[in-house]
Amino acid sequence: MKSPEPVGLSSLFELSTLQKEGMEVWLDVTLERCATWFRASGATLFLKDRDGEVRLKSKTGHQSKVPLGTAIVKGEGIAGTVLGTGEPRIIGDPHSDPMLKVAAVRDEIASSMVIPIIGMAGEEFGIINLSRSAGEESFCAVDLDQAAQVAATIAMAVSNAILFDLTQSTMITLDRKAEELKAVLSCVAGSVYVFSSNGCFEKGGPDSGPVLDEATRAIETLLVTRESHDFKVTDPKSDKTWLVHVAPLVSGGGVLTVQDITSIQKSQDETARLRRLAEIGQMSAAIAHELRNPLTGIKGSAELLRQDPALAADFASIILDESLRMERLCNEFLEISKPLKLSLKPGKLSKTVQRVIDLWGPEYAAKGVELRADLGTESVNTSFDEAKVEQIAHNLLRNSLEATEAGGEVVVETSEGRFSVQDTGLGMDSETKQRLFSPFFTTKSNGTGLGLCNVRRIIDAHGGRVDVRSETGQGTRIEINLRDNAA
């Protein structure tokens, strides 16, 4: 063994090797100097690895037989015990110390000093273990104090190395994320702008004009509500449409995207126009078809009336019935073709529904169908168009009466913002359930198929919902929900 170079206490805290040659060399040099300074015949340095195991990282002197990488078992031997307690200690007589009983002690060790390496936040990084041979004096409190200071320097260097590693890997992750973000942004068909917490764009911003005005307003709202939202902006001058989306960033401010959707909007408008044309065509055919039946009746009756005026009373009543049917058809057609304008007022649904129930009472009684009402109390007002909701109730009560035989029962229920009509009538098969809201769909010989179509229009205009439950032979339950409109 080469004779140790003279070592001053300050050299134990020398960090230049760390910068020049890296952590491993610096640890070897420092341990070597410690051994010399403390006149130790052997020294080991154990450090925690990434996997949490504390392993032998550096050694010198008589400990050189222990292979590097050997892990300390917590609680076992001097090292394992000190690691668990965090207390530095001197073992004066290794043979009598119970802590050393389990360790393989060589005869030449007379005194040991074990110092934990503990970080600023109390985290255990490892230990330094120094031992003196027989014949040397035992370690004393001054040695222990000095060794603890060296351990503190090592702890600082290790913390720095860990922080450096962490920063390095964070930088790599950040670089990767930035690259991903760049790729994502390049795939976005539109412009993306970031704005700060005072609403100013960090770079550029939408061109002046309608988008900038609307975007500025949206950003102001977002800075208050912190909620993302999107909206369309149309410029009648250039006939262009944009989709604008704003979303908050956790760090304050947010992101604004602007997408030119002019061509998408145009093709949507065109599709809607074609659909309307198709509906008008369907409607005209259906109207002609519906009017032809009563018209045939009226024409035939008039013909027969001309041949035999004595039957005037009979034919006049047929003509009157058919005319009334035509009138009803015309009214329903008109109702459907008119754009729906609601006159919303806050109120209680149960009152409106009750009025319609009262009107239907006599018809139900005449057919022998029981009509029951279970009108619950409503604590909040619902905003609805009274006349239109009456129309819904009329249609549902008419359908239920038509579907229910004498002896059956129809129950009307109301609660907060909704009402339902349930009957014990003939129910619906799956095809009927699919088509019942389509205009002119009817399974009745004298039906118009417009009742539920109109019901749907009114509910949609209220922003409400309709649920249908029905089984053939079991009856039907239709529930209308206008709750979203609670005022």
The span of 228-236, 238-246, 355-363, 439-447 binding ligand ADP (CB under 6 A) equals 439-447
Among 233, 403, 458, 466, binds ligand ADP (CB under 6 A): 403
Does 476 bind ligand ADP (CB under 6 A)? Our answer is yes
User: Do the Cβ atoms of 48 and 89 come closer than 8 Å?
Assistant: no
Phi, psi (5° rounding) for residue 347? -175, -175
- Which amino acid appears at position 187 of this protein? C
The span of 160-168, 217-225, 226-234, 419-427 binding ligand ADP (CB under 6 A) equals 419-427
Residue 116 contacts which entry, ligand ADP, Mg ion, none (Cβ below 5-8 A, type-dependent): none
Kindly tell me which of 36 and 448 has the beta carbon lying closer to ligand ADP: 448
Among 25, 169, 444, 471, binds ligand ADP (CB under 6 A): 444
Does 60 bind ligand ADP (CB under 6 A)? Our answer is no
Residue 363 to residue 330: CA distance in whole angstroms:
24
CB of 409 to ligand ADP, least distance (A): 13
**Residue from 262, 272, 30, 305 nearest 155 by CA:** 30
Among 57, 392, 441, 458, binds ligand ADP (CB under 6 A): 441
Give Dmax (Cα) for the chain.
150
Q: How far is C-alpha 295 from the chain's CA centre?
A: 59
The span of 181-189, 191-199, 287-295, 435-443 binding ligand ADP (CB under 6 A) equals 435-443
| Coil, helix or strand at residue 454 | helix
For 136, which DSSP code?
Answer: S
Handedness of CA 15, 18, 20, 25 (dihedral sign): positive
CB of 453 to ligand ADP, least distance (A): 6
User: Do the Cβ atoms of 196 and 251 come closer than 8 Å?
Assistant: no
Residue 403 contacts which entry, ligand ADP, Mg ion, none (Cβ below 5-8 A, type-dependent): ligand ADP
Length of the chain in residues, anyone? 487
Kindly tell me which of 59 and 477 has the beta carbon lying closer to Mg ion: 477
**Residue from 429, 424, 436 nearest 467 by CA:** 436
Residue 63 contacts which entry, ligand ADP, Mg ion, none (Cβ below 5-8 A, type-dependent): none
Does 112 bind Mg ion (CB under 5 A)? Our answer is no
CB of 335 to ligand ADP, least distance (A): 12
Does 293 bind ligand ADP (CB under 6 A)? Our answer is no
CB of 330 to ligand ADP, least distance (A): 15
For 425, which DSSP code?
Answer: S
Does 425 bind Mg ion (CB under 5 A)? Our answer is no
Residue 483 to residue 381: CA distance in whole angstroms:
9
Does 476 bind Mg ion (CB under 5 A)? Our answer is no
Residue 402 to residue 291: CA distance in whole angstroms:
22
Does 383 bind ligand ADP (CB under 6 A)? Our answer is no
Among 12, 442, 459, 462, binds ligand ADP (CB under 6 A): 442
User: Do the Cβ atoms of 117 and 128 come closer than 8 Å?
Assistant: yes
Residue 383 to residue 329: CA distance in whole angstroms:
30
Residue count, binding to Mg ion (CB under 5 A): 2
User: Do the Cβ atoms of 424 and 444 come closer than 8 Å?
Assistant: no
Among 206, 451, 464, 475, binds Mg ion (CB under 5 A): 451
Residue 474: other Cβ atoms inside 10 A: 14
Does 470 bind Mg ion (CB under 5 A)? Our answer is no
Does 425 bind ligand ADP (CB under 6 A)? Our answer is yes
Handedness of CA 67, 73, 77, 82 (dihedral sign): positive
Beta bridge partners of 248: 254
Does 404 bind Mg ion (CB under 5 A)? Our answer is no
For 208, which DSSP code?
Answer: T
Does 423 bind ligand ADP (CB under 6 A)? Our answer is yes
Does 399 bind Mg ion (CB under 5 A)? Our answer is yes
The span of 310-318, 343-351, 354-362, 448-456 binding Mg ion (CB under 5 A) equals 448-456
Residue count, binding to ligand ADP (CB under 6 A): 23
Residue 104 to residue 101: CA distance in whole angstroms:
8
**Token pair listed for 459:** 């509910």
User: Do the Cβ atoms of 139 and 132 come closer than 8 Å?
Assistant: yes
**Residue from 232, 182, 242, 183 nearest 207 by CA:** 242
Residue 172 to residue 111: CA distance in whole angstroms:
47
Among 428, 459, 480, 482, binds ligand ADP (CB under 6 A): 428
Does 129 bind Mg ion (CB under 5 A)? Our answer is no
Beta bridge partners of 260: 242
- Which amino acid appears at position 325 of this protein? R
CB of 486 to ligand ADP, least distance (A): 27
Residue 425 contacts which entry, Mg ion, ligand ADP, none (Cβ below 5-8 A, type-dependent): ligand ADP
Binding to Mg ion by CB under 5 A, coded x per residue (else -) over 284-323, reads: ----------------------------------------
Does 399 bind ligand ADP (CB under 6 A)? Our answer is yes
CB of 447 to Mg ion, least distance (A): 6
Give the binding site for Mg ion (CB under 5 A).
399, 451
Give the binding site for ligand ADP (CB under 6 A).
395, 399-400, 403, 423, 425-428, 432, 436, 441-444, 447-453, 476
